[in-house]
Amino acid sequence: MAVWSDSPSVYSDSNRTHNRSINQWFIAPIYLLPQTAFTIPQSINQSINRRLYLALCILSSSLLPHCDTFGNVFPHIRLAGTPMRNLRLLSESQQLLRAADSQEEGDEIKWLTTGASGSVLCGGHRHFFTLHEAPAGVEHQAIPPDCSHVVGAEFLIADNVLFLATSEGTLLHCYGGTVTDVVCHIPAGISAFRWSPDQEILVITTNLEHEGGHLLVMTADWMPVVTEPLNPDDFGEQKPVTVGWGKKETQFHGSEGKEAAKLKAQLSKSVSSQDDLRPRISWRGDGQFFCVSTVSTATNTRVIRIYDRQGVLQGTSEPVNGLEWSLAWKPSGALIAATVELPRWREVVFFEKNGLRHGSFALPFPVGESTVKELQWNSSSEILLVWTVLRSEDGLLTDVIQLWTTGNYHWYCKQTFRFARTTSAILAAVGWSQTDPYKLFLVQAEGRLSVLEWTWDVCRSLDNSATVAVIDGSKLLLTSFAYANAPPPTSSHTLQFPTFVNQAVFSSTATSYQLAVATDSRTFYLFTSNRACPSEAPILHKTCDLPFSHSAILFWCGKEHLAAVEVTQVNGETVWGVWTFSVHDETERELESLPSLELLEEDKNCKLVGYFDAPVYHFTAERHLALVYLKNGQVLQADLRPDAGKVTSLIKLQPDCDKIVIQMNPSHSHHIPPIIYTLNSSSHKLHRSNVQVSDDCTSFILTPDFLLYTTHHHKLVAIPIHHSGNDVKFGSSSDERQLERGSRLVTTVASTGVANEKCSSSDGTAVILQLPRGNLEIIHPRALVIGKICDFLRAGKKNYRGAFNLMRKHRINMNLLVDFDLSQFLQDVPVFLAQIGNSVDLNIFIAELSDENVTATMYKSHFPAAAAKDVVTTTVPVEVPGKSNRVLDALEKGLDRMPGNELFLSRMACHIYKKPQELEQALFKVMELMKSFHTTEAEDALKFILYSTNVDELYNVALGTYDFDLVLMVAAKSRKDPKEYIPFLNQFRSLQPEAYQKFSIDNHLKRYAKALGHLASMGREKFTECVELVVQHQLYREALVIFREQSEERAKLLCLYGDFLSTTKRKYGEAAILYDEAGNANEAVENYRKSLDWQLAMACAAKANWDAKTLAKSADLTALALKSAGRHFEASRLLLDYTGNVSGAFGTLLEGRLWSDAHLLLEVRDCGPTARSKFGAAIADAASGVLAQIGDIEAKVDKYQLRLKVARQIKRERKAGGLGDEFIDNMSETSSVSERSSMRSSKFSRTSSKNRRKDEKKKRSLREGGPYEDLALLDALKALYRQTETLMTGEVASLLKYLLLLRRMDVGCQLQRAFGALLKNLQRRREEIWTMEELSAVLSGSLAGHTFGPDATTSSIVSGLAASAAQDAREPQPGDLSLTDLALYVPPDFSLMASWNEMRLEQFE
């Protein structure tokens, strides 16, 4: 045990021999650590080990889902402000710590602290109680009699004990059971103490009676750090330095004069009469600083001093009149909260770390009738608890607990609870949970503990007004976002109440506007919409007193009833009852006439749904069916019909979900269960009937058509809700958009489909977001916009006007009006024109038309292939050819049926935006308007055409109409100079006849085909000009169409066209046909010969009646051309048939090695012994050539196989050394390296076809030492195998046959033996070159990352394919193998030995 001596600066410890300085302490980097449950083994005694163990346990705890490995709180769990959200009471539970008759006098509960595993410890001077959460139970323990004046208590996580401090100076540990241990004693007594958040530093203030009090700082091992007086004279290390600028003495003071500068601020000379003069201590959340509020002996006022962790004074607060004892440092470290008593009111003021004031807000209680007892922040720094004691005129005291939060520089009072002090019920202590920032503990002196759980919730209406109600003390701030966007803290309307508002609940139906409000005085108010003017404030419909407690939770049940959830005791057990009551039935008794809860069962206006053994988090009802969601996740179904009283279990969902939205079945069928959306704000998991939708959800809203939710990745996700009529899987399509960091959903604006001039968001696509800094933002998500457009366009509505306005407002492509249902739109063109009604909007639609199907391109995510069958089909084309022209034709027909010149500009637009443009038709319609004396309309139409097209192009089109009046009208509206175009037009007007005038105009406009037609119409005298025009502009086809009949002109044109094709295009076959038609036999035969079409050439010559000599000469020339082309058989036939040259034909066949045809000719025509000797010699020469090829193949195979072994060995050695193919590539010449680096420098160079061919050529290079030498060798070897197969099926078999016929057995046997040896050699080497080991190695390297077979999973296959796709998308690297390269490692299908001729030539010798 450590004992303090009379001098607080002297300290002795007989049980510990180690001593460490402050720099040797282990300070865990933990921020806002909750007091979780950990049991430390008794063997861990060393302080440094205990602290390490504590830090590691806390950091690895699942109770810290929002802390990183260093204990830092993630920024997304802290919000800068929540002005549009209210604190909604989730549940209340009560526990009686002891029997009412067991309390002794002076044994009231005085203090409360939270313990391990969610347990709560509270007690007085003699006893304390531990309420365990799991397993539930109450443990009672006595405090030693000599330690009966407890100053405070705190549960120590590291030691798993309760720490108590008494006013006598005793510090003790209380273990389980009756074991207590006095660990230290301070003779000077203790007035206050506080552990640091990491429980490593203990700060104690001694009693003021002992030398004015001291401040003691010690470690968890009771090692002293610092001891100093409570009221030092020094300001601190952060004392501000001034150079005299801005002194009060140098400022202007107006009528008060200079004497005002000498006046000092008058501070209160005495503290409050209710001040107990005790010090207060508060730590910052990170444990680096703490502050102490003491009464200064010099000024007799309270002062706040800020110290660092080592107990060094950092600063002192500025003098504040009326500063009181309440003190609470915000855990996030921003501000220190305290209270100040002013003459008229009392304020909560805030100080910075340097002691300077930083804002305040007034408390709504008179100074003389109230006293602030305590301030407490919750662990997330969002809520400030203010405990105030009120005194009535008759002397009765009431404890008031208020929960305040801030947003947009405004403080809101969100909740108020009143506890009247009686002899049997006095509020003794309050405290926030350290594990759940929204759980509050209240304990009364007689031993009743209440646990209140809160959550943030947006009170929003479901009707078209999109009203959001914000609780602000005794005011309810209403903002109707359908009519106005009022940023908080402002609002559209303000409802003032006589007492503080605790609950505001809108009706749960979208067809009614009803607002139920409950105040802390248990008064109920019902407001309804002002039907005459919906944008005005709601009207008070009814008010009454509620028979429930102040913590009863209200839910709407349809339009006529409300439900109240209240905790109560039934047969000694804590249960939660649900009651429903009517709010509109005026014939029954008013609710305030019910004297107690027990009489509710006898009242006809109230009905008990049931008692439940778990807190009721949500209750909803529709018709006679009610659903109850309990805290444990159980969903129950209750029948609300009279005399039913049946409650059954429906489904088990995720527990502890504080946001529940139930989507009831539209058909109200019992066979189809409702869909329940739940969100756990702690784990951020959003579920849809036990199916997880998201694991990082921060807020969500359910609309009739979409599920909207925000995520920690700062995205808004919209998922369509497909009702029972669709078979689309939920979540198969979704839309995302980025948001500002920390945005939360507030509400959405619904729509009836009827435009409201006063409604700012009548289209029903607006989503209101709350940003962290407090302001609001209205967005229109693309999914909601397109969903609304589709709803407008469905066959039942056909609201094209509404869809068009929405698309124009949100810049949606107008093609969606057509692509939604093309056939339906073409039928509804009259309806569409009638609804649009003006040319401006209609022209906007026409201008955006294209053949693209936007439902399959830019908006394809909103139109899945399996969606509604009336929208898209299974396969949706990306483009619909001719769609825009079809729509424009339909619009043009619809516009033509309209009377008068209505929408005449849209008629022009239909011609302008066609593909190709119909500018001539548009100009003709303008002339019709001019001729019908609609001058204004004609000028507007011409201006529109000029605006939509190029002026010069339109001028040329007008000139092409040959109407000079129209040309002058267009030119007058353009910027052309009359001095230029008038002489130009007069020049055309002077030309005669009219056909030549049109020819000149078309020739100027480069419309040569039309010009040729006009010129040809003038007769033979202009044929020479026609020929010049045809030759100059290559109008041969057009000319032949014009001159259809046979004539000299047509023959000349045919010859000109033939010359063009023969000399320029080298299309000899087509030119020959033209010459043939023109009767030019010489040119026809010559071009047939060039095209190697010898049959047509000889037929054309015969048709021209050529003589035999000329025909033979032509045949010789044609045969020569055929032999040059390798067509020896056709050449020999031509010689035989048209020249009779048998020897020439025989020589041609021998030259082509056509042995069978040559042998046939030899035997049929009896060519003589000379020809036979030539035949034998040719056969022998051919056999010699084949033998040479066989030898060459064997030599190359030997060479390539030997080099392949060397190349593979080098490659294996390089890979074993970690160098790979890239090192081999770098060993090549410098030019290759520089070429590769230059190719890599460009993103597209290696993907070009030229470079791909260059890479393939490099891979097939047989250069020794090249990076792909092994591939080149394999490619060459495969080519040799293919060459051998070609020899066997071609020449070898034929040669052996004729060598046998000619009895050249020596040559035949030699050829047969050589080729058989080659086949055997290749068959043996095939197994040596293409080995299975080499193939397996290559395949394993190329398919790395792929997993197939029975051990493969979907995840492994997908990941392998993704890696392969990434590999294919990157820039090719050395060593990359294509499919063609991999095919080289597969052995060739060499099965020639099986088909080799078994016949031996030796047997015929």
Among 123-127, 253-257, 520-524, 1302-1306, the minimum mean pLDDT is found in 253-257
Instruction: Give 113-167 pLDDT, tens digit per residue.
Output: 998 778 899 988 888 888 888 777 888 888 887 777 889 999 998 888 999 999 9
pLDDT of residue 979 exceeding 90, the answer is no
Q: Given pLDDT bands bounded at 50, 70 and 90, which one contains residue 64?
A: very low
Quick one: tokens of 411? 């403080």
Q: How do the residues of the chain divide into helix, strand and coil, expressed in percent and rounded to 5?
A: 35, 25, 40
**pLDDT score for 723:** 53
284 pLDDT band, cuts 50/70/90, is very high
pLDDT at 1262: 75
pLDDT of residue 981: 79
Q: How confident is the model at residue 868 (pLDDT cuts 50, 70, 90)?
A: very low
pLDDT at 743: 93
If pLDDT is split at 50, 70 and 90, which confidence band does 404 have?
very high
pTM above 0.75, yes or no: no
419-457 pLDDT, tens digit each: 998 876 889 999 999 889 999 999 998 888 999 999 999
Q: What is the mean pLDDT of the chain?
A: 79
| Range with lowest mean pLDDT among 295-309, 616-630, 1347-1361, 1377-1391 | 1347-1361
What is the distance between the alpha carbons of residues 780 and 751, in angstroms, rounded to a whole number? 13
Amino acid 1311: pLDDT: 78
pLDDT > 80? residue 502: yes
- Whether 170 shows a pLDDT value over 50: the answer reads yes
Distance, CA of 556 to CA of 515 (rounded, Å): 10
Confidence of residue 1067 (pLDDT cuts 50, 70, 90): confident
pLDDT-wise least confident of 112-116, 716-720, 886-890: 112-116
pLDDT of residue 1305: 73
**Per-residue burial over 1128-1161, b = 16 or more CB atoms within 10 Å of its CB, e = otherwise:** bebbbbbbbebbebbeebbbbbbebbbbebbbeb
The pLDDT of 1390-1404, averaged and rounded, is 55
* Low-confidence winner among 513-522, 769-778, 1118-1127 (lowest mean pLDDT): 1118-1127
> Which of 715, 153, 92 shows the shortest CA–CA distance to 441?
92
Q: Would you say residue 948 has pLDDT above 50? A: yes
For 579-635, the pLDDT digits (tens) are 988 887 543 333 433 334 444 444 446 788 889 999 999 999 887 888 999 999 999
Q: Tell me the C-alpha to C-alpha distance, in Å, between residue 466 and each of 471, 489, 768, 975, 1081.
A: 17, 18, 10, 55, 91
CB–CB of 662/676 below 8 Å? yes
3-state DSSP call for residue 1247? coil
More confident residue, 1288 or 128: 128
- Asked if residues 698 and 756 have their Cβ atoms less than 8 Å apart, the reply is no
Instruction: Report whether 190 contacts 86 (CB < 8 A).
Output: no
Mean pLDDT of 1058-1071: 85
Query: What local confidence, expressed as pLDDT, does residue 818 receive?
Result: 93
Total residue length of the chain: 1405
DSSP three-state, residue 783: helix
pLDDT-derived band at 1330 (thresholds 50, 70, 90) equals confident
User: Is residue 1352 very low, low, confident or very high in pLDDT (cuts 50, 70, 90)?
Assistant: low
At 891 the pLDDT is 93
The Cα–Cα gap between 788 and 769 comes to: 20
DSSP state string for 253-287? -GGG-THHHHPPP---SS--TT-----EEEE-TTS
Please tell me the predicted confidence (pLDDT) of residue 762.
Answer: 56
User: What percent of the chain lies above the pLDDT cut of 70?
Assistant: 80
Alpha-carbon distance of 860 to 1011, in angstroms, equals 49
Tokens of 381: 């720094």
Q: Which residue has the higher pLDDT, 917 or 746?
A: 746
Identify the pLDDT of residue 754: 39
Which of the residue ranges 522-531, 908-917, 1119-1128 would you say has the lowest mean pLDDT?
1119-1128
Sole residue written with tokens 């906007």: 844
Backbone angles phi, psi at 1037, to 5 degrees: -65, -45
In which residue are the tokens 């076959």 written? 1069
pLDDT at 571: 83
Cα–Cα distance, 149 to 166 (Å, whole number): 5
| Dihedral class, residue 1274 (left if φ above 0, else alpha if ψ from -120 to 50, else beta) | alpha
507/1152: higher pLDDT = 507
Cα 847 from Cα 827, distance rounded (Å): 21
Question: Lowest-pLDDT range, 247-256, 673-682, 988-997?
Answer: 247-256
